[in-house]
């Protein structure tokens, strides 16, 4: 786990860091908050999730009949329980220019079925794991991939992608750059949180800028402790 130390001095955040300290934060599907079953209460173990409220913006995600993710008390995480389980926004959400997106997830198995975020109506838009050594996105139909160290089952990972002002997109795993930067300037459009395939999904955090190094280190430490 990365220590805060000088990273906090770089970002100007405090030792009580949360994603809300990041000035570019626009959407936050927070660990263990804003998660609802049908009656609006927090779900008990194994119960179906009908909504996950955006703690920063207004893009709540909800579930329709037959697509319910469930809550796992032991892991304190959402579980997709198959390819059709998902939570959707009311419409498309578009990320243009600079942005970043992070998730925290524990894999039951690692495969291309482990989609984190996607556009349901456009197969050319997604953020996922492609294999145990590859993080992958499609943006406007263009396939982007980052190859790095092995991602294992049975442990949590913090996985993120960031695009800077030069349209370079970098992937990060547990706070460290993963693979090499790729270039793409198209909008990334999404409307669905998938949370992997039978995996344990803790949170999704989206910003309208790349992160400075101190915020990236502090976010990684925060995620390691949820």
Task: Give residue-wise pLDDT tens across range 113-156.
Answer: 999 999 998 889 999 999 999 999 999 999 999 999 999 999 99
- How are the residues of the chain apportioned to helix, strand and coil, as percentages rounded to the nearest 5? 10, 45, 45
Q: Tokens at residue 12, please?
A: 């100007």
Whether pLDDT at 82 is above 80: no
Q: What is the pLDDT of residue 3?
A: 31
pLDDT > 80? residue 10: no
Number of H helices, E strands in the chain: 2, 18
Rounded to whole angstroms, how far apart are CA atoms 184 and 178?
17
């Amino acid at each position: 786990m990365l220590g805060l130390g000088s990273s906090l001095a770089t970002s100007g955040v405090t030792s009580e860091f949360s994603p809300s300290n990041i000035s570019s934060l626009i959407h936050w599907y927070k660990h263990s908050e804003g998660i609802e079953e049908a009656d609006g209460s927090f779900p008990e173990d194994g119960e179906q999730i009908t909504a996950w409220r955006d703690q920063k913006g207004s893009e709540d995600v909800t579930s329709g009949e037959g697509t319910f993710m469930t809550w796992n008390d032991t892991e304190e995480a959402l579980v997709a329980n198959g390819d059709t389980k998902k939570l959707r926004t009311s419409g498309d959400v578009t990320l243009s220019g600079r942005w970043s997106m992070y998730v925290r997830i524990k894999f039951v198995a690692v495969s291309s079925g482990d989609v984190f975020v996607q556009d349901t109506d456009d197969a050319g838009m997604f953020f996922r794991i492609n294999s145990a050594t590859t993080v992958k996105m499609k943006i406007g139909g263009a396939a982007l991939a980052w190859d790095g160290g092995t991602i294992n089952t049975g442990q949590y990972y913090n996985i993120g992608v960031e695009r800077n002002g030069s349209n370079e997109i970098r992937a990060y795993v547990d706070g460290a750059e993963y693979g090499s930067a790729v270039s793409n300037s198209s909008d990334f459009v999404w409307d669905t949180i998938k949370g992997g395939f039978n995996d344990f999904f803790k949170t999704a955090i989206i910003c309208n800028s790349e992160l400075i190094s101190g915020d990236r280190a502090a976010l990684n430490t925060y995620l390691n402790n949820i």
